[in-house]
Amino acid sequence: MFEVGSYVIYRSEGVCVISDIRSESFGMIGKEEEYYILTPVNDGKSTVFVPLANEKLVGFMRRLLTAEEITAMLSELRDERLEWITDSRARNNSFKEVLLRGDRRELIVLVNTVSEKLDQIAESGRKAGSTDLNALHKAERMLYEEFSATTDIASMDKIVPLLRGHISLLPRKKITDAWGNERI
């Protein structure tokens, strides 16, 4: 169980602070349930309610990783790639599912796959598809938001070099938002 004040990553919402755990009643039934109340770090006006009784939704809440844990995971996943789906519509749907789940491991593999494929496309003189570029940028943004909260990674354009092992991470002492403001 997570505690109030803890920082978590939650699906595509990104880094959130657990601002409360309380009973709420939603809908016409009026039955009260316990909820984690999450406030996204980069959108203090937004609130996410996660029912404690819903194991699937609570399963999407993950603690933030340390620089060492991120480095180990990146090393483990460095050579993993998704099977490239030639049908662009099916590929786009597959990417959307990965982005919606927000699982960091899947996002890393997606970025590795798409960035490598885009390099191949560029080398052949062709132009990259907008759906592939959009998926890549969204996945990079999600990884950047999570990794920058606990490490020294300073910009989103460092994600691909980080995944390829060209740069390393150092721990950050305070959790910060996307604008560099300290949160704790």
pLDDT over 70 at 181, yes or no:
no
First to last CA, the chain: 21
pLDDT over 90 at 170, yes or no:
no
Q: Match 């996410």 to its residue by tokens.
A: 48
Tens-digit pLDDT profile for residues 87-116: 999 999 999 999 988 899 999 999 999 999
Return the CATH fold of 67-163.
Methane Monooxygenase Hydroxylase; Chain G, domain 1 (1.20.58)
pLDDT at 59: 93
pLDDT over 90 at 182, yes or no:
no
pLDDT at 125: 92
Tens-digit pLDDT profile for residues 2-58: 999 999 999 888 899 999 999 988 776 678 899 999 999 888 789 999 999 999 999
Q: How far is CA 55 from CA 52, 70, 110, 181, in A?
A: 7, 25, 26, 32
Q: What is the mean pLDDT of the chain?
A: 89
pLDDT at 25: 86
- Alpha-carbon distance of 146 to 138, in angstroms, equals 13
- Residue 94 parent element (H or E): helix 88-101
- Alpha-carbon distance of 64 to 67, in angstroms, equals 10
| Sequence ranges of the chain with CATH classification 2.40.10.170 | 7-63
| Sequence ranges of the chain with CATH classification 1.20.58.1290 | 67-163
pLDDT at 168: 87
pLDDT at 82: 95
pLDDT at 175: 63
Q: Check: CB of residue 147 under 8 Å from CB of residue 107.
A: no
Per CATH, domain 7-63 is 2.40.10.170 = yes
* Between 44 and 165, the higher pLDDT residue: 165
pLDDT at 176: 54
Q: Enter the pTM of the model.
A: 0.82
pLDDT over 90 at 177, yes or no:
no
Residue length of the chain: 184
Amino acid at 156: M
Q: Check: CB of residue 110 under 8 Å from CB of residue 97.
A: no
